[in-house]
Chains A and B, each alone.
Chain A
Amino acid sequence: MLDQVFVLLKQWLLGHSPAAIQPGVSILLTILPILLVFPVLFALTTVLERKGLGRIQNRYGPNRVGFYGILQPMADALKSLTKEDIVPTSADHTVHFLAPLVLLAVAFLPYAVLPIGRNMIAANLDSGVLFFFAIGAISELSVFMAGWSSRNKYSLLGAMRAVAQMISYEVPLLLSSIAVIMAAGSLSTVEIVEKQAGFSGIFPHWYVLTPWGFTGFILFMIAATAETNRSPFDLPEGESEIIAGYYIEYSGFKFALFFLGEYLGMFAISGLGITLFLGGWSAPLPFLTWIPSWIWFFAKLLGLIIGFIWVRGTLPRLRMDQLMNFAWKFMLPMALVVVVSAGAWRFLPQGVIRWLVSVVFIAVAYVLLARGVETRNKIAKRTYRFAE
């Protein structure tokens, strides 16, 4: 009952609206919650992040507005709404105006295929995972639009870095999802979650609890961090190098929109990670299934967000060559091995043998690749090619 409360509420509201406007009302009731819940989650996350980073860095974080600084997002929103919206004279005004809008629209679209609870999905597409990545590809273009239209060297550099990084890390991201798609035999997010719903003993059938799934999940989350331009992959907006990257020239609410778009992208890709590897809305233990499915989804989402914040607070930023080497020489071959290992897992009989085969595949690949990455990084005097 509590599990389906939102679905039943929607049906009840639909039943009480005249038949002529029912399709419109249905669409509205599907989209509005997404448009409301995730921005609120964004507001909460900003407080959580600033508090968490403060704790890691041995300071208080926001503590002036409201109880323990909990109303800080309201103050931030008011501030950015009342700030002057400055557009550089030489900027390309149309593209400069469109870039945050495109980014935000693209940031909201992936939520259409995320199942946030049992029967709670906006559009149950046959190819939901493909839809997710197709939409994600458009965000690269919006980042470029922002960086190029500002007509600022720093912002253009930031945009180029961002696009290069997003393209490079999209490959391991897609490949590690392919392993799950192979195991589930479906591209539909709903079906992938249903495949992981059962329990054997007390352990759920989540893909993260298989050797290839665990490796795939780690690769997926690393690639997701890079894809959302978060620290330690935040070169595109590295404050100490290129000030703020592609959104230097944005002020006021447009800047807030960029911020919102970035966090929405992070939630969406975490949601996909939950759907693919962490069993979506299913409970982790059999005796906890009475807790509503949507609570599990958001609990897992919060867990991943805290992980993101923790990583941001503790790891230093990578250098550009380290970033690219890591993507192409470690992540990509490792993701390919994960795909092969998932294939072996699919066709071997259940039991010890497939665990052994899967683990050996991944362990051997990991050792060899890690050694390759190490020997290439000989410590020597740094040479500059372009700046002397």
Chain B
Amino acid sequence: MREMTVPFLILAAVTLVGASAAMLFRGLVHCALALAVAFAGIGSLYLSLGAQFLGLAQLLVYVGAIAVLIVFVILLTRGGDSDSPPLSAARWPITGLMVAMAIFAILAWAVLHSFAIHTAGTLAPQATIRQMGTALMESYVLPLEVIGLMLTAALIGAVIVAMKENPR
């Protein structure tokens, strides 16, 4: 187990505070902004662990795109001004507790049986961007193409859904 350094503690605190604020705030836009803080915290954690590409992609995709998308959805659907009461778990205490425990158990099982925890001590392989690029372009080129095709199809579908109907 690596020791907990000060930067790690700060970033972890930012992530946790952001995530819990995203659940506890009343205004929807506040929740979305707090979620963006949590995303940024996770991205910075990746960066501090030396996973540059993952960390920057997390910032670019989650903070730059997903958070903005969430904000847009809130503003375009509900106005964002309505302070709706928070979805309270107090009405179903037992169900909530069971769901939380089940999720925790699954995550704990996955972490304890994961590949990484058994190979602790050996140095983790450093995946540079160049290695990732060659892997994507050589060994995994077919999955990449398939994903590209799927995303293109989804994009065209979205354009067709959003297209103005013919007035005729």
Contacts and interface: CB of A to CB of B under 8 A. Distances in A.
Interface of A: 92, 95, 125-127, 130-131, 133-138, 140-141, 144-145, 148, 151, 156, 160, 163, 167, 187
Nearest to B43: A134
Contacts of A160: 72, 75
Interface of B: 27, 29-30, 33, 36, 40, 43, 52-53, 56-57, 59-60, 63-65, 67-68, 71-72, 75, 80-81, 128-129
Nearest to B69: A167
B63 A187 contact: no
Contacts of A133: 60
A138 B52 contact: no
B60 A137 contact: yes
B36 A137 contact: no
A146 B128 CA distance: 37
A141 B63 contact: yes
Secondary structure call for the B interface: helix
Nearest to A163: B68
Nearest to B81: A151
A138 B40 contact: yes
B68 A126 contact: no
Contacts of B40: 138
A138 B39 CA distance: 11
Candidate in A127, A134, A138, A140 with the most chain B CB atoms within 10 angstroms: A134
Nearest to B62: A137
A144 B68 contact: yes
A148 B80 contact: yes
Contact of B59 (A125, A126, A137, A145): A137
Contacts of B56: 127, 130-131, 134
A82 to B, nearest CB: 31
Contacts, number: 63
A126 B65 CA distance: 23
Nearest to A167: B68
A183 to B, nearest CB: 15
- Which has the most chain A C-beta neighbours within 10 Å: B29, B40, B43? B29
A135 B68 contact: no
A95 B33 contact: yes
A130 B54 CA distance: 11
Given A141-B33, A144-B71, A163-B68, A127 B129 contact: yes
A151 B27 CA distance: 13
B65 A137 contact: yes
Of all A-B residue pairs in the complex, the 7 with the closest CB atoms, nearest first, are A137-B64, A134-B59, A134-B60, A134-B56, A130-B56, A127-B52, A137-B60
B53 A127 contact: yes
A187 B129 contact: yes
B78 to A, nearest CB: 13
Given A137-B60, A137-B63, A141-B33, 8 more contacts: A126-B128, A127-B56, A138-B64, A140-B64, A144-B71, A148-B75, A151-B81, A167-B65
Given A127-B53, A130-B56, A163-B72, A141 B36 contact: yes
Contacts of B27: 92
A156 B74 CA distance: 13
Nearest to B58: A134
Contacts of B63: 134, 137-138, 141
Contacts of B64: 134, 136-138, 140-141
A138 B59 contact: yes
9 contacts: A126-B129, A134-B56, A134-B57, A138-B40, A141-B64, A141-B67, A141-B71, A163-B68, A163-B72
A187 B30 CA distance: 35
Contacts of B60: 130, 133-134, 137
A140 B68 contact: yes
A33 B57 CA distance: 29
B118 to A, nearest CB: 29
B29 A148 contact: yes
A130 B81 CA distance: 35
Nearest to A385: B164
Among A125, A138, A151, residue most surrounded by chain B Cβ atoms (within 10 Å): A138
A141 B63 CA distance: 8
Contacts of B59: 134-135, 137-138
Contacts of A130: 52-53, 56-57, 60, 129
Contacts of B36: 141
A167 B72 CA distance: 12
Contacts of B57: 130, 134
A125 B67 CA distance: 26
B129 to A, nearest CB: 6
A148 B29 CA distance: 9
Nearest to A149: B29
A95 B64 CA distance: 18
A138 B57 CA distance: 12
A156 B76 CA distance: 12
Nearest to B67: A141
A85 to B, nearest CB: 22
